[in-house]
Amino acid sequence: MPKCVVLLSGGLDSATVLALTKSLGFEPYALTVVYGQRHRVEIDAAKKVATAQGVVEHRFVSVDLNAIGGSALTDDIAVPKDRIESEMTDIPVTYVPARNTIMLSIALGYAEVIGAYDIFVGVNAVDYSGYPDCRPEYIAAFENMARLATKAGVEGKPTSIHAPLITWTKQQIIERGLALGVDYALTHSCYDPDEQGRPCRRCDSCLIRQAAFAELGLNDPALS
C-alpha cells in the first residue's frame, strides 16, 4: 500500500480525511503541527484520533508561530463569538497568516523523508470561504511549487496534495465520516476552549460544527 502523510489537527475535518485515506488504500503517516497557540486538548484529540483509527506513525512538529503573532489563534486577539453565518464571509481574525502553507511545507519535508508522494489535508472552502489558503487554486499552486521544491520532485516523483473535503459541506463531511466509522467524540474543533478543554460553543468553529450536526438531526458527540 502506498504511504501518505495526513495533516491531523484533532478536528472534525482531518479526522474524516484520515479515515478517507485508509478507505482509498493508503498507509497513513499522521503529522500534527504544533504551532504555539495549540491548546493541549487539540493535541490530545489528534493523538486519540490517530490511535482510534490506526496510523503507521504519528509525528509532532512544533513551530513557534506565537513569535510572529497576527491572529486570534497565535496572538493576544479575542476570538469572535456568536457570529451569524453571513458575518463569516470576510477573512476572520482567526486566520493565521500562511498557516496552511507552513503546515503543508512541513508535511512536504516529512513526506520526502519517509518516501511518501501523497499529502492529505482537510481544508474546506465551503465553511471557511474567507481563508485564502483553503481554496482549490491555492492547493493547485502549492502542488506545483512542491514539484519543484524537493529532491523527489526533481527525480520525477512529484508529491500530490489532496484536499478531498475542499468542496464538501460540513454535513457531507460528517455523513461520510460516520459511514467510515469516525468517532467524532474524540475530535475537537473549538478555537477557544476553557481551561478544562471544553468547547466554548460560540466561536465560528463551534457554531459551524453544531449547525452541521443539528441539520443532520444528530447530537454532536463531543458535546455530550
Q: For residues 154 and 179, which CB has a smaller minimum distance to its own copies in the complex?
A: 154
Nearest distance from C-beta of residue 117 to its own copies, angstroms:
13
C-alpha cell at 25: 488504500
Nearest distance from C-beta of residue 25 to its own copies, angstroms:
24
Q: Cell 512544533: give the residue.
A: 62
d(CA 183, CA 52): 8
Q: For residues 70 and 197, which CB has a smaller minimum distance to its own copies in the complex?
A: 70
H-helix or E-strand spanning residue 27: strand 27-34
d(CA 140, CA 161): 8
Going by the DSSP 8-state scheme, the letter that residue 67 receives in this structure is: G
Separation in Å, CA 51 to CA 29, 82, 106:
12, 33, 22
Task: Pick the piece of the chain touching its own copies (CB under 8 A) from 17-25, 61-69, 166-174, 191-199.
Answer: 61-69
Of the CA atoms within 13 Å of residue 146, those in its CB half-sphere come to 28
Helices 170-179 and 12-23: angle between axes, nearest 10 degrees: 50
Q: For residues 109 and 197, which CB has a smaller minimum distance to its own copies in the complex?
A: 109
- Residue 138 engages its own copies in binding (rule: CB under 8 A): yes
Nearest distance from C-beta of residue 72 to its own copies, angstroms:
13
Q: For residues 80 and 197, which CB has a smaller minimum distance to its own copies in the complex?
A: 80
- Residue 151 engages its own copies in binding (rule: CB under 8 A): yes
Q: Cell 464571509: give the residue.
A: 89
Backbone angles phi, psi at 75, to 5 degrees: -145, 180
Q: For residues 137 and 195, which CB has a smaller minimum distance to its own copies in the complex?
A: 137
- Residue 61 engages its own copies in binding (rule: CB under 8 A): yes
Q: Which of residues 63-122 bind its own copies (CB under 8 A)?
A: 63-65, 67-70, 91, 95-102, 104-106, 108-110, 112-113
Going by the DSSP 8-state scheme, the letter that residue 126 receives in this structure is: T
Q: For residues 15 and 33, which CB has a smaller minimum distance to its own copies in the complex?
A: 33
Site size for its own copies (CB under 8 A): 45
- Residue 62 engages its own copies in binding (rule: CB under 8 A): yes
Residues 6+ positions from 181 with CB-CB distance below 8 Å: 19
- Positions that interact with its own copies (CB under 8 A): 59-65, 67-70, 91, 95-102, 104-106, 108-110, 112-113, 132-133, 135, 137-138, 141-142, 144-151, 153-154
